[in-house]
Amino acid sequence: MASGDKNSYFEKRKINCIERAEGIIDELPSFCREFFIGIENNTSALTRLNYAVDLRIFFDFITKVIIKDKLISELRLSDLERISATDIERYLSYLNSYTHNDKTLSCNDRAKQRKLASIRAIYKYFFNKDKIVANTAAKVQSPKIYDKEIIRLEVNEVVSMINTVENGNGLSERQKAYHENTKIRDVAIVTLFLGTGIRISELVGLNVEDVFMDSNSFVVTRKGGNRTILYFNEEVEIALNNWFEYRSKIKDLPKEERALFVSLRNRRISVRNVQILVEKYAKIVTPLKKITPHKLRSTFGTNLYQETNDIYVVADFLGHSDINTTKKHYAAMSDDIRRNAIKRVKLKED
């Protein structure tokens, strides 16, 4: 995928985010536009879209509950100073169950954390510009997120997962009919997840020319737009070669379609379709675990750490900018380490 290709998947997604954000910013208080212009060079289009969505919900609450004498569009920068830390805490509580566009929604603690981050960002921006006298949002504690056990496939489940994708055992008769036309593609997708830890957005965005079979490597576009080279092993190589051969023989596949993975409609496969196919096979292999593409990524992360014992290698391969994110993979292995270590403790000599 050429970085300057305006018709590329990532460029289209970026443009879509910008256009959606612009529509929402028009609904926000006028001072918000200065904020979005100010952060443009340091944030992604998706981040700005998320900020816009979050701030619209926040200011909707403010005009309904705190500053009732104004509409959202009538709010001024000075009104930020009328909002107290307690008001923001009330807003976080409001997110437990709120109405937006005639829909009743709710946020878990992680979603609240993100929405608070959006409020903090705008307060920090104007506080640093000396346009407000207090950074009120900084006084509000972020909801505590309790670490959950990372769900991943065990070694035997990885083998079963790949075998199930290959042979289709456990699928319904209707699913088997589709499976005949998708199994080679699906094996390549699942193997790529398990063998490289690629993100689902990165996988969907891959083009044919991004893969270099002579060096067992491919180029992905990471978060923020950075291009990174990843490498794969012989098992992934075989799965990809099989897919390349099959792909070259697909009838009616347009020559201009450069997507590596395509749907049965011969278009770039969507994120949702990839999620569905992974969950379909995983339910057969391990019905008690909710396995998603991200869980396959976690499986790769823990396996890589087990082989290398180097958390920084895992962080680099997974594209984590924060090493603390990677430590979750280490934490997920602690039970395995303790279980294997205790077997070496002997109370009596043999």
Q: Are 206 and 259 in contact (CB under 8 A)?
A: yes
Is residue 208 helix, strand or coil? helix
Q: Are 206 and 260 in contact (CB under 8 A)?
A: yes
pLDDT of the residue at 341: 58
Q: Are 200 and 189 in contact (CB under 8 A)?
A: no
**pLDDT of the chain, 350 residues: tens digit per residue:** 343 443 456 677 788 889 999 999 999 999 999 999 999 998 888 899 999 999 999 999 999 999 999 999 999 999 999 999 999 999 999 999 988 777 888 898 889 999 999 999 999 999 999 999 999 999 999 988 765 666 788 889 999 999 999 999 999 998 998 898 999 999 999 999 999 989 898 999 999 999 999 999 999 887 766 788 888 999 999 999 999 999 999 999 998 999 999 999 999 999 999 999 999 999 999 998 999 999 998 888 877 777 777 777 777 777 776 676 666 555 555 555 555 655 656 565 55
pLDDT of the residue at 6: 32
pLDDT of the residue at 303: 79
Residue spans per domain, the chain = 9-139, 155-336
pTM: 0.62
pLDDT of the residue at 4: 40
- Comparing CA positions, the residue from 45, 40, 56 lying closest to residue 115 is 56
Q: CA 301 to CA 313: how far, in whole Å? A: 10
Architecture of domain 155-336: Orthogonal Bundle (1.10)
Q: Where are the beta strands (DSSP E) in the chain?
A: 98-100, 103-105, 211-212, 217-221, 227-231
- Comparing CA positions, the residue from 144, 58, 149, 117 lying closest to residue 335 is 149
